[in-house]
Structures are given as structure tokens and as C-alpha cells.
Amino acid sequence: MPILSAGQRHKITVTLNGEERTGHAEPRMLLSDFLRHELGATGTHVGCEHGVCGACTIKLDGQPTRSCLTLAVQVDGSQLETVEGLGASDGSLGVLQDCFRRHFALQCGFCTAGILMSLDTYLRDQPNAGEDDLRALLSGHICRCTGYTPIIAAALEAAEILRARELQPEQRGPDV
Amino acid sequence: MKPPPFDYIRPNTLAEGLELIGKYGADARILAGGQSLIAMLNMRVAAPKLLIDINGLTDEAYIRDDGDAIAIGCATRQAVLERWPTLAQRLPLIAKALPYVGHAQTRSRGTVCGSIAHADPSSELPLCLALLDGQVVLRNRRRSRTVPARDFFSGVLQTTRLDDEMITEIRLPVPPGNTGAAFNEMAIRHGDFAIIAVGALVDTTHVRVAIGGGDDFPVVKRLPLSGEAALQEALNDLAWSLDCQDDLHATATYRRHLIRVLGQRTIEEAIACRS
């Protein structure tokens, strides 16, 4: 690969929530800014820009990632998932989002997109996560509204629903 | 809070990476997981002319069990080490310390060697490297040298790595079977920078204790296990021997207090899990 020079914008192609998208970025452009300003995906929020607050957390090739600690030029060819991809195509909420709504797990909503992306990955990998695991995970996010308790309640309920869904095909048995 | 301009390159092989760091030296920085470096760029604490991104060096993302030591390549992510099936058995200290390294959301990308290269005085992996008496393998275009941890850290965010060198591997010795290991830290929020971090390895007669956050780099001390009073005395001496500082998070007095209290607790835990 040649050196990408500082003053030039370079073409970056990613798969964002299943859709191929292209934008341009100087080497110094953060992935969080690339998503928001180049691709118009403003669901990902930007808080501290040094990896502490967690608001900008997305999924990069399936792993939770701080988009403010990643450069746009690093993700050329990668799979990105952001909060925009959590709901269904008809606009209805995903399981986790719906639980957040029911449990009042958000107020101002600034931290929510990042927390949803962290939890979405975590519940995929750890379907039996308990409260302690979830609290440790949430230490990677700052929420100044909720006091975290409703977030934990929402996540536990979402885990339960997701587990039940996983079991369904076996429970249904064969169609006779 | 945006990085200053820099050029960027992503080598595909270690040889290419070593060529680049050899050519650009102090003007370049190695970008591994970026969990410290990009934060430093965003805050403009660092302003390199070139970033050499080693995330493409997939051959360097290894964990190799050499029997007496575990070798970890420069592209190995912390989360991968955390999930390594024999970690708790081979390196219990690391298994206990890793959950304190940043957050799950940063360990997914942060590398083991990157954290050591960054050499933050309060960070966990440099402390573990020092406590285990590990080694850092540094390479430039022409040669490779192996530096023991005690000769590697030289100050706050400072190491003895030369400008044309890159960390290619660290080696963590596997302690003898009868060693007990424990790790604790006090931070404002779980996963934040430690105010004080303490690691301990105990055998039948002695404890090796390492303190992070008390001085410019992790300090390791070997103390005899000769009763609680003597240990408390030794921890008090250790606390006063360090250059503890006041900052926004804690006073020097509180740091010394933590060294005594957390030190005692960590050593007791290490003794309790000695097999």
C-alpha cells in the first residue's frame, strides 16, 4: 500500500448496516466523523473523543469499537454496524430498543446509541449474561440521566426475550 | 479534539513495517489498537508525521506457549488474550488483571504490546510484565534485541525503545506451579486509570509485589513472608519509597494509604490461592 498523504481525501468503502457505502476521508478523520459527516449516519453520537464516554461505540467487523479511537482510513472494506441497523426495515424497534423504551432506559438519549451497540454485541456472545456482567460491560459507558438501573432492567429483559427466541424452533417441534 | 494532520500507511508484512519505522524513525508512530495513541492524537499530546498501522500484520497476532513462557505478538488484541482458553491456568495474574484493562469496548481493539509500548504509569499490563519479570522483543531492520521489563520502562510514557525499533513480541514467564497470584486496583470507575494498582505473586517464602500509579513506572519489590506485622512495615516502607504525587483524582497521602491497604489485601489473596 502507498502512503496516504495527510492533505488528501482518500476513497473509503464500507458496508454499513448491510449496505455498501462510499465516502472520502483524510488520514486524520475519525471514524465517528466519517459516519456522521460523510455518510450522514448521525445515529452514532460523539461525546468525549478520547474513548472514555462510550457514546460513539459501534460494531466493527462484529466487535464493539470506539469509533472515535478508530480512523476512517483503517476501516476501508470493513463491515460496520450502527444503531441505525438495530430496528427492522419497516421502522419498528429491535428487541433491545423496545426493552429500552419500556423500561425508560434512556432520557436524553445521548449515550443510548453506544450502549445499544455494546449490549447488542454482548448479548449475542453471552446470551446468559447476568446483572454483574452487564454492570461490568456498562462501565464502558457514561450515562448521566438514568443511573443505569433501568438500562440493566432493559438488558436483562432483552436477554430473556432473545433466549426464548433462540429456543423456539426446537420447542415448536416438527409440523405434522 | 481532532488529530493533527499525519500521513498514513498500512504495511502488509512485518518486514515492510520495520523498513518504514527504520526510515521515518522519530517522525513515525506505530498504530496498533489505537486505544491510547488515537486518544493522544485527539488531545494533541502526540503529533507524528506518519502513522504506521500494523493492524494488517495478521501473522503477528499470535499467542505462543513456549513452555516456560508465553509469547504474545505485536498485533494480538487484549480481548483475544482474555479469551485464550488456558490463560487462567498458565498466567493467572494476567487473567486477573485483564478485566481491569480499559473496558470490554476498548479491549476488543487494544493490543497487549501497544499497552506496554504506551507505558502509562498506572496501566495494568506494564505492571504485569514487570511483576512476571517478562521481556520485550524490539526489532529494527537489522537486528532484534530482548530487553527485560526492568530495563524497558524509563519514565512516564517513556521507554528505552529506540526510534527505529518496534516491539514485535513480549514474553511472559509462566510462574512455578505453587505460585499464588492476585491483582487489585482502585479507580474512580471500573476500567478507568488506576489511582493505585497492585499485583502480587507469592511462593512459599516470599512475595513479589508490584505497584502501579505510585511512581513514573511500575515498581516491583520482593518481600519475605515473615508475619503480618513485618509485611505491613515493609509495605509502609515501600509506599514511602515511591514518588507518589497529588493530582485531581487522589492525594499522595491517599495513594500511600492504598499501597498499604490494597497491598496487604492483594498479598493475602495471592497467598489464599497458592496451590
User: What mean pLDDT, rounded, does chain A reach?
Assistant: 94
Angle value at C-alpha A172, between A166 and A175, nearest 5 degrees:
135
- Using DSSP, how many helices (H) and how many strands (E) does chain A show? 5, 5
User: How far, CA to CA in Å, does B242 sit from each of A75, A166, B140?
Assistant: 43, 54, 34
A-chain CB neighbours of B104 within 8 Å are: 64, 118, 122, 136-137, 140
CATH homologous superfamily, domain B180-272: CO dehydrogenase flavoprotein, C-terminal domain (3.30.390.50)
As annotated, the residues of chain A forming the CATH 1.10.150.120 domain(s) are 95-167
Return the H-helix or E-strand segment holding B230.
Answer: helix B228-241
Q: Tell me the average pLDDT across A47-59.
A: 96
Position B254 pLDDT exceeds 60: yes
Position A168 pLDDT exceeds 80: no
- DSSP reduced 3-state for B174: coil
pLDDT of residue A62: 96
Band (A171; pLDDT cuts 50, 70, 90): low
User: How far, CA to CA in Å, does A113 sit from each of A167, B52, B87, B93?
Assistant: 28, 31, 33, 34
pLDDT of residue B269: 97
A27 and B11: CB-CB below 8 Å? no
* Minimal-distance CA residue of chain A relative to B55: A74
Domains in chain B: boundaries: 7-55, 62-173, 180-272
Q: Tell me the average pLDDT across B241-255.
A: 96
B42 and A50: CB-CB below 8 Å? yes
Position A170 pLDDT exceeds 60: no
Supply the CATH classification number for the domain A10-84.
Answer: 3.10.20.30
Through-space distance between the first and last CA atoms of chain B, rounded to whole angstroms: 49
Position B119 pLDDT exceeds 90: yes
Give me the total of CB pairs closer than 8 Å, taking one residue from chain A and one from chain B. Answer: 110
A-chain CB neighbours of B43 within 8 Å are: 50
Q: Tell me the average pLDDT across B165-175.
A: 98
Position B152 pLDDT exceeds 80: yes
* Residue B106 forms contact with A (CB below 8 Å): yes
Position B40 pLDDT exceeds 70: yes
* CATH class of domain segment(s) B62-173: alpha beta
- Maximum Cα interatomic distance, chain B, rounded to a whole number of Å: 58
pLDDT of residue B192: 82
pLDDT digits (tens, 9 = 90+) for A81-114: 999 999 988 989 999 999 999 999 999 999 999 9
Position A176 pLDDT exceeds 50: no
* Residue B104 forms contact with A (CB below 8 Å): yes
**Closest CB from A28, A54, A137 relative to B3:** A28
Band (A172; pLDDT cuts 50, 70, 90): very low
Measured torsion, CA atoms of residues B119, B123, B129, B131, in degrees rounded to the nearest 10: 120
**Closest CB from A3, A60, A139 relative to B103:** A139
**Closest CB from A1, A64, A73 relative to B105:** A64
Distance from CA of A162 to the nearest CA of B (A): 21
Rounded to a whole number of angstroms, the CA Rg of chain A reads 18
Band (B1; pLDDT cuts 50, 70, 90): confident
A-chain CB neighbours of B48 within 8 Å are: none
Position B23 pLDDT exceeds 90: yes
Q: Which of 3.40.50.2300, 3.30.43.10, 3.40.50.300, 1.10.3760.10 is the CATH number of B7-55?
A: 3.30.43.10
**Closest CB from A1, A2, A4 relative to B12:** A1
Rounded distance, CA A15 to CA A90, Å? 20
Nearest to B159, CA basis, from B172, B149, B170: B149
Band (A173; pLDDT cuts 50, 70, 90): very low
pLDDT of residue A175: 45
pLDDT of residue A169: 53
Supply the CATH classification number for the domain A95-167.
Answer: 1.10.150.120
B8 and A7: CB-CB below 8 Å? no
B-chain CB neighbours of A54 within 8 Å are: 103, 105
Rounded to a whole number of angstroms, the CA Rg of chain B reads 19
Rounded distance, CA B271 to CA A3, Å? 53
pLDDT digits (tens, 9 = 90+) for B177-203: 899 999 999 998 887 889 999 999 999
Rounded distance, CA B210 to CA B175, Å? 15
As annotated, the residues of chain A forming the CATH 3.10.20.30 domain(s) are 10-84
